[in-house]
């Protein structure tokens, strides 16, 4: 029986090492050093660096985010943003996630693992949040969660993980409101592009308004 405490130490070391040097430069030796463990201990548990990282990351990524129903799309978004920004603020997460996502562009196995993890959360978010909004009448039916996902997670992810501009908690409601508006527009059934320079209805404009 493999000792749990050592397994745990390895897991932690992988996370820290991943954050410190990234997947590309992650070395088994460094993980072993940081964990205060021998390389053999690691090779006994996982066959390769890829397997090790995938296992550790999967274990962490599976943790679902709770997403309470606030009663409104905007409220749900605000809540989601708070949770996301909290999660992405973790120094480990904010370094590991972009790194692995970049690595996923090269390594199909990593891509698939992340895709699965992402898909899980996507369902938490997509199915829950969006379908809730549809049921409330805040979004029209037939809204495609996949297409809306970009609008939901894109801005916050960019802000925190890419631009890394400090994000005041007070900014989240504003962002939530903006995204809610975007979702309204994006999920409208196809409408002809009002060509030309006519002033635009920046709000959801035509149909599909609630209340």
Partner DNA sequence: CAACGACGGTACGGTTGCGTCCCGACGCTC
Partner DNA sequence: GAGCGTCGGGACGCAACCGTACCGTCGTTG
- Which residues contact DNA by CB under 7 A? 1-3, 6, 26-30, 36-41, 43-44, 48-49
User: Closer CB to DNA, residue 25 or residue 90?
Assistant: 25
Q: Kindly tell me the burial class for residue 117, based on how many C-beta atoms sit within 10 Å of its own C-beta (0-12, 13-18, 19 or more).
A: middle
Which CB sits closer to DNA, 35 or 80?
35
Are 32 and 14 in contact by the 8 Å Cβ rule? The answer is no
Q: What is the DSSP letter of 198?
A: P
**Smallest gap, in angstroms, from Cβ of residue 107 to a second copy?**
10
Candidate list 6, 46, 75, 117; residue touching a second copy; CB under 8 A: 75
Distance, in Å, from the CA atom of 149 to the CA atom of 131, rounded to the nearest integer, reads 13
188/141 Cα distance (integer angstroms): 9
- Min dist. Cβ of residue 37 to a second copy (A): 23
- 202 binds a second copy per the rule CB under 8 A: yes
- Cβ 7 to a second copy shortest distance, Å: 26
Range 41-47 contact pairs with CB under 8 angstroms and sequence separation of 24 or more: 41/6, 41/10, 42/10, 44/2, 45/2, 45/7, 45/10
Member of 2, 62, 147, 169 binding a second copy (CB under 8 A): 147
Cβ nearer to a second copy, comparing 3 with 210: 210
């Amino acid at each position: 029986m493999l000792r749990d405490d050592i397994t745990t130490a390895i897991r932690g070391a992988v996370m820290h090492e991943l954050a410190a040097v990234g997947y590309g430069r992650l070395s088994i030796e460094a993980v072993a050093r940081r964990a205060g463990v021998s390389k053999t201990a690691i090779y006994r548990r996982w066959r390769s660096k890829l397997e090790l990282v995938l296992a550790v990351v999967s274990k962490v990524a599976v943790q679902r985010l709770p997403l309470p129903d606030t009663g409104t799309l905007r409220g749900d978004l605000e809540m989601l943003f708070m949770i996301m920004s909290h999660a992405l603020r973790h120094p480990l997460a904010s370094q590991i996630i972009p790194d692995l996502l970049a690595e996923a562009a090269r390594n199909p196995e990593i891509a698939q693992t992340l895709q699965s993890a992402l898909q899980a959360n996507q369902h938490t978010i997509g199915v829950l949040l969006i379908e809730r909004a549809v049921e409330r009448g805040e979004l029209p039916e037939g809204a495609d969660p996949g297409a809306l996902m970009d609008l939901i997670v894109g801005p916050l992810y960019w802000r925190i993980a890419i631009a890394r501009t400090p994000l005041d908690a007070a900014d989240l409601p504003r962002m939530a409101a903006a995204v809610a508006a975007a979702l309204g527009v994006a999920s409208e059934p196809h409408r002809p592009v009002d060509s030309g320079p006519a002033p635009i209805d920046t709000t959801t404009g035509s149909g599909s308004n609630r209340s």
